Amino acid sequence: MAKSTKTLYRSYIIEEYNLTEEPYYLPVNDEVELFEAAYKQRIPVIFKGPTGCGKTRFIEYMSYKIGVPLTKVKKQDTQKQNNIPLVTIACHEDLTASDLVGRYLLEGDKTVWIDGPLTRAVKAGGICYLDEIVEARKDTTVIIHPLTDHRRILPVEKKGELLEAAEGFLLVLSYNPGYQSALKDLKQSTRQRFISVEFDYPSRDAEAEIIKHESGVDIQTSTQLAKLGEKVRNLKEHGLQEGSSTRLLIYAGKLISQGIKPRRACQVAINWAVTDDMSIQQSISELISSIFE
């Protein structure tokens, strides 16, 4: 056997991570047109919507879609050049401003400046997607303000620099209003810098189509899954914090397409995933056993 080391993974530099294939996305509403229009005018966007309804998928889809011009103008390989990098940052409670902007690191007795993801997106002219923005500390959210108005600049305090955003840069936030509480709410000064696109779970037919595409089950099964999703969502506010996401339905579909019995697949992928409450579990389990043989 040859003793060559083979890299089993691929790693990308943030700016160079481009989607090579078109991500699957089924438009539910007019969100595609809205986003395109907003992007052209570089208006920052907030996605609101429950978990697992396709916000992240949508932004991937849009970054790809915008990156690929509909008509190729020149003979050059425009496709690659126009790709827009997508920088996704998952926000959490301890996310500090320097985590976003960048920091000096010690290297031996020298210091080296390392750009944070936001800075890199600003420089590369990509779409910077801040996921679950309400989770981030309030002081962190303030640093994005200058990027979101006409200035389009990012102050890099430590270096004493102002960074002007490259042409393609756009800031996109997402948050789930379902978790909103009095303490965790976006400040008006922040939210009024964005347009808001609302996401919700797709209609039964559309969702069935999505599940079918993503999980590879037949349309009948995917319709049943979508139906189950709908019924479980009906239980929201009756003890269930959040309905089952499209993502979970897809998981269930994937299990089914791997040969797991539908009832069992729904049990683990949907029922037990959405709640720990025994009595709700039993109710959902009855729903499952009604819908699936």
Q: Which residues bind other proteins (CB under 8 A)?
A: 103-106, 109-111, 158, 181-184, 224, 227, 230-232, 234-235, 238-239, 263, 279-280, 282-284, 286-293
**Is the alpha carbon torsion for 14, 18, 95, 116 positive or negative?**
positive
**Shortest Å, Cβ 279 to other proteins:** 5
Residue with tokens 């590879």: 216
Q: Give CA 273 to chain center in angstroms.
A: 20
* 29 versus 111: smaller Cβ distance to other proteins: 111
**Shortest Å, Cβ 74 to other proteins:** 44
**Shortest Å, Cβ 289 to other proteins:** 5
Distance of alpha carbon 64 from alpha carbon 293, whole angstroms:
40
* 129 versus 175: smaller Cβ distance to other proteins: 175
Q: Are strands 110-115 and 102-107 parallel, antiparallel or unpaired?
A: antiparallel
Distance of alpha carbon 1 from alpha carbon 4, whole angstroms:
9
**Shortest Å, Cβ 225 to other proteins:** 13
* 74 versus 110: smaller Cβ distance to other proteins: 110
Contact 194, 208 (CB under 8 A): no
* 140 versus 224: smaller Cβ distance to other proteins: 224
**Shortest Å, Cβ 290 to other proteins:** 4
* 3 versus 110: smaller Cβ distance to other proteins: 110
Kindly list the distances between the CA atom of residue 135 and the CA atoms of 54, 102, 131, in Å, as whole numbers in the listed order.
19, 20, 9
